[in-house]
Each structure stands twice: as structure tokens, then as C-alpha cells.
Amino acid sequence: MKNRLITDFYDLTVQQLMNDHLWDIPIIEKNEDILNVLNILSGRHHIWVINTKKKKELIGVITEHDILTTLSPQNFSPYVFGLPDIRSLQHGTVKTAEDIMSKKIITCEPEEKVIDVLKRMKKFQLRRLPVVKNKKLIGEITLHRLIQRYYKATQYHPIVEEG
């Protein structure tokens, strides 16, 4: 029974389990003020950054770690090799979401299988992935949501909610 349950769970698609309620997902436009970013992150762990609300093209992500980098004092060593990270609230180099966001985003698509998304989360040590279609943000899938759905299935509830 349990082997079949996990196999069935792995075969589900991201679309069947993702959160596609964009009003409930932390999203901000790239030109939003850093104070709006801080306000959102005071209650969330991340923010997806889009180019415009109309296009919803995903261009970055901001995490608590990005804020740590900008909040902490910058002490530049005279012997720095390469380019130092100069994103800093202290020095006024961060004004918008685009200034602080990470541009390297690991994504998934709605047609992908849950097993592939779990492998990607494990490989990159991520707890959430944006779901994109043609570069457009259409939702997110989180480890928390996957755990909830799998647990419900062990309690004889359907994994996929109808409607």
C-alpha cells in the first residue's frame, strides 16, 4: 500500500499540487522600493521578482539571506581579489528589488513530475520553486505543501484536491 502511495505521489505533476493563487504568493516588481521588499520579508521567507505585473516574467528572487548581505556592515579588505559584493543599505547601493535580487533562479514547469521537482529541491537545497510557463510566473511549489499533501494521502484523503 505505502509503496504504491509513494509511487503514485511521485507520478503527480507540479500542476496538480502547486499553489497557483498568485494573490497568496509573495511577488514584487523589479522597480519596487527596498522598503517594500523589507516589509514583505518581515512576514515571508522569500519574494519572487517579476518584470511587470502585466507580463509576470520571472527575473529574480529575494531571500532572507539576500537581506542579511545588505543589512550587515560592509568591511572591505584592502586585499580583495575579484569583485566584492557591494550591495549595502549602509552605503546606499540598494534602492530597489532589482538591486538585491538573485538572478540565478531554479524553476520548474507545471508538466514536470513531483519526483523530478523533489530531486531538484534536494540537489540545490531549496524548499520552494517557482512554477513558470514561457518564462511567466504561474505559481509556486513548496516542500511544505508536498509534505502536507503526502501526509493527507496517508490518512486516506485524496492527494489532489478537486476544484
Cell of 19: 499553489
Rounded (5°) CA angle 142-145-148: 150
pLDDT at residue 141 greater than cutoff 90: yes
Segments in the chain forming alpha helices (H): 2-11, 14-17, 34-41, 64-71, 97-100, 114-124, 143-154
50, part of any domain: yes
Q: Let me know if residue 111 belongs to a domain.
A: yes
Give the span between the Cα atoms of 151 and 129, in whole angstroms.
Answer: 20
In total, how many domains does the chain have? 1
Range(s) of the domain holding residue 19: 2-154
Q: Is residue 120 part of a domain?
A: yes
Under the banding of pLDDT at 50, 70 and 90, the label for residue 55 is very high
So what's the pLDDT on residue 90?
A: 56
Question: Does residue 36 lie within any of the structural domains?
Answer: yes
- Reading the block at residue 111, the C-alpha cell is 508538466
pLDDT digits (tens, 9 = 90+) for 9-50: 999 999 999 999 999 999 999 999 999 999 999 999 999 999
Strands 136-142 and 128-133, by their bridges, are antiparallel
The pLDDT assigned to 92 comes to: 64
Answer yes or no: is 162 within a domain.
no
**Domain annotation covers residue 69:** yes
pLDDT > 60? residue 155: yes
* Residue 148 domain-assigned (yes or no): yes
Per residue in 78-118, pLDDT tens?
565 554 455 555 556 788 999 999 999 999 999 999 999 99
Residue 143 sits in a domain whose CATH number is 3.10.580.10
- Residue 161 inside a domain? The answer is no
Q: Is the pLDDT of residue 143 over 80?
A: yes
